[in-house]
Structure 1
């Protein structure tokens, strides 16, 4: 097995890491944005083309809400 070359020092710092609070805040912002987009699509009327977009956004929103709950536990 070949040896793996290591870089001289890690290329990340503590500032690169999100805290749970920061990750939760980012999720909150994205949940608001996606909810607004869904509201906009629904207000404009959902045709066959928009239905796929609404379904994907709804699934994304549900996943983000589930992830957000893990940060509250």
Structure 2
């Protein structure tokens, strides 16, 4: 697991914890409202606009898959 993946997963789990979803891990499901909040928070923290297409949004069903979708968007690479 690359450092970017670890950082991104930690950020997402932290954001979920801030919303009251504690003990999240890679298999934790991400509801649509949580997804919107996570994307907003990541945009604010990284100073970017995150635009995902329908396929990417449909794939982002849990923390692990969200990390897979967002890594190339935020870091320009894949693991």
TM over 0.5: no
Tell me the TM-score normalised to structure 2 length: 0.31
Q: Give the structure with the larger helix fraction.
A: 1
Tell me the TM-score normalised to structure 1 length: 0.33
